[in-house]
Structure 1
Amino acid sequence: MANFVYIATSLDGYIAGPGGELDWLMNFPNPGKSDFGFGKFIKQINALVMGRKTFEKVLTFGTWPYPKPVFVLSSTLRQIPEHLEGKVELINGDLRAIVNDLNDRRFKNLYIDGGQTVQGFMREGLVDELIISVIPIVLGAGLPLFGKLDEAQRFELVKNEAFKNGIVKTHYRRSR
């Protein structure tokens, strides 16, 4: 059982622009059209947990990109779009209780996505592995990947990959 963060950041640690923009990421040159290991990663995941804002951003992509069940953390959403019934479930509450419930439901490996959601899981010490792809761009402002923690959390390097287009993907595992 593990909770994974698989995410891209700018060199200065932002996951989106000041208004949630992702154009810098979507328009980044990818000559080989690589998925940078995402396909392999998603195969080991049982479900995704994402925040409402991330869910709403993904809805703008047009095609639903996830082949696994998605759980959306929200205290304000009351329903999901009809075309996503059976693929998306709304959840709310204490993060530890949510993880325990999903694990009891046989969702053992969770992909945690979305700025506030990642920060919440980090604050609770619930992130086991970080896979961060750093895009060689400095945004100067935006939505940071990490937020305030009550205490430092240590991670050890699992793997580091550099791609020809300048992206560096680093995989860390939490030191216990």
Structure 2
Amino acid sequence: MNDVIYMFAMSLDGFIARPDGSVDWLDAFPADAEFDFPAFEASVTGLVMGRETYEAVRRQPEWSYARWPVVVATRRPPADLPEGVETIDGSPADMLARLRRRGAAGRIWMFGGGALARQFMEADLLDTVEVGIIPVVLGSGLPAFGGAQPDRWLDLEFAKGLKNGAIHARYRVRR
């Protein structure tokens, strides 16, 4: 599979993080083995993420993305990049080209955040949206697709209610 997929978790009211970028609310939610995350990860050949998302995952005790080439979209490159991570100040097409040159020959995980997802959608470079909808209302936060954009329709490929109360859904972006 050679597509670009935005796979993420969001609250019932459409937020991927609190206003400060925290995803602590996800820690309070029980995982569900039906959401086969290891199989998803095995299908990925590279990651692209925005600077804020990068900063959030760097706060974790361990860098969990060393198995893939990673491109961070930013105008302010961070100082201490893990091995395999590069920064780029360019378009979504530039980001994908960089990953392809680095050996990401298959599925690319557009890791986040919402503003970058919007850019990929507007550039018509996002193929699939896969989401875990968590049954919590945050009230405010960072939206799944940040900023204004024209209407964009998607076709449902799969949806399933999980035992933990979440909904796992996958959509194909209409062309």
SS in 1 for 2:30: coil
What residue number does 1:17 align with?
A: 18
Compute the displacement of 1:26 (Å). 1.6
- 5 Å matches for 1:13-162? 13-30=14-31, 34=33, 36-66=35-65, 67-81=67-81, 84-85=82-83, 87-107=84-104, 108-113=106-111, 114-146=113-145, 147-149=147-149, 151-162=150-161
* Aligned-partner Cα distance in 1 for 2:46–2:80: 17
User: What do the CA deviations read for 1:34-75 (whole angstroms, capped 9, x no partner)?
Assistant: 372221111111100001111111011111122322111111
* Aligned-partner Cα distance in 2 for 1:125–1:70: 21
Structure 1 residues 105 and 68: alpha-carbon distance in aligned structure 2, compared to 1, 3 A threshold? closer
Letter paired with 2:152: Q
* Aligned-partner Cα distance in 1 for 2:24–2:3: 30
State, as a whole percentage, how many aligned pairs show the same letter.
35
User: What do the CA deviations read for 1:114-160 (whole angstroms, capped 9, x no partner)?
Assistant: 222112212222110000110000001000012321x3222211111
Using structure 1 for the length normalisation, give the TM-score: 0.88
* Aligned-partner Cα distance in 2 for 1:91–1:157: 32
**Gap runs ≥5 in structure 2:** none
Task: Determine if contact 2:70/2:99 at 8 Å carries over to the other structure.
Answer: no
Task: Determine if contact 1:159/1:170 at 8 Å carries over to the other structure.
Answer: yes
Task: Determine if contact 1:159/1:171 at 8 Å carries over to the other structure.
Answer: yes
* Aligned-partner Cα distance in 2 for 1:127–1:22: 23
Letter paired with 1:103: R
Pairs aligned (count): 170
Task: Determine if contact 1:80/1:88 at 8 Å carries over to the other structure.
Answer: no
Structure 1 residues 13 and 171: alpha-carbon distance in aligned structure 2, compared to 1, 3 A threshold? same
SS in 1 for 2:22: coil
* Aligned-partner Cα distance in 1 for 2:64–2:99: 21
